[in-house]
Amino acid sequence: MGSQCLQLRECDIQKTCIDYLRVMRWYVLDFSRHDCPDLSGISDIMAMKRGRYLWIEFKRPGNKQQANQIEFMNEIRGHDGEYILIYSIDELMDFLKDDTLQGVMF
């Protein structure tokens, strides 16, 4: 492959994470392919399992949230919701690791 470095796209990170969540029996709603202005700033997905709701925004390393995404994050957190910003599958797995140990994942 030489000196060429592979760049992960945000959609690649998202697909890998969604596949992982579904294997772990989370129900996933994908909002990333919407054309509705009312959903501007909403996280890419929401994952649900056993009464737990995770709002998840995916970014490739080096990219940052837009202003409307930060506003949505603050709204969710202001209502004691869980909102996470994920840059890799490893980050998601680390975030969910404690739940796995407590048996929530299975």
Q: What single-letter amino acid sits at 89?
A: I
Tokens standing for residue 91: 């980050």
Tokens standing for residue 13: 């990170």
The per-residue pLDDT of the chain, averaged, comes to: 85
Q: Would 99 be classed as within a structural domain?
A: no
Q: What is the pTM of this model?
A: 0.79
Q: Would 100 be classed as within a structural domain?
A: no
Instruction: Write out the residue range of the structural domain in which residue 23 sits.
Output: 10-32+40-93
Would you state the pLDDT for residue 100?
Answer: 52
Q: How far is the C-alpha of 43 from the C-alpha of 38, rounded, in Å?
A: 13
Q: How far is the C-alpha of 45 from the C-alpha of 29, rounded, in Å?
A: 5
Q: Please give the share of the chain, as a percent, with pLDDT higher than 70.
A: 83
The yes-or-no verdict on residue 50 having pLDDT over 80 is yes
Total domain count for the chain?
1
Q: Could you tell me the CATH number of the domain that includes residue 51?
A: 3.40.1350.10
Q: Would 60 be classed as within a structural domain?
A: yes
Would you state the pLDDT for residue 17?
Answer: 94
**Going by DSSP bridges, is the β-strand pair 82-86/52-58 parallel, antiparallel, or unpaired?**
parallel
The yes-or-no verdict on residue 94 having pLDDT over 60 is yes
Q: What is the pLDDT of residues 4-37, one digit of tens each?
A: 446 778 888 999 999 999 999 999 999 887 666 6
Q: Would 105 be classed as within a structural domain?
A: no
Phi and psi, residue 49, nearest 5°:
-160, 125
Tokens standing for residue 30: 């994908």
Would you state the pLDDT for residue 69?
Answer: 95
The yes-or-no verdict on residue 46 having pLDDT over 60 is yes
**Going by DSSP bridges, is the β-strand pair 52-58/45-49 parallel, antiparallel, or unpaired?**
antiparallel
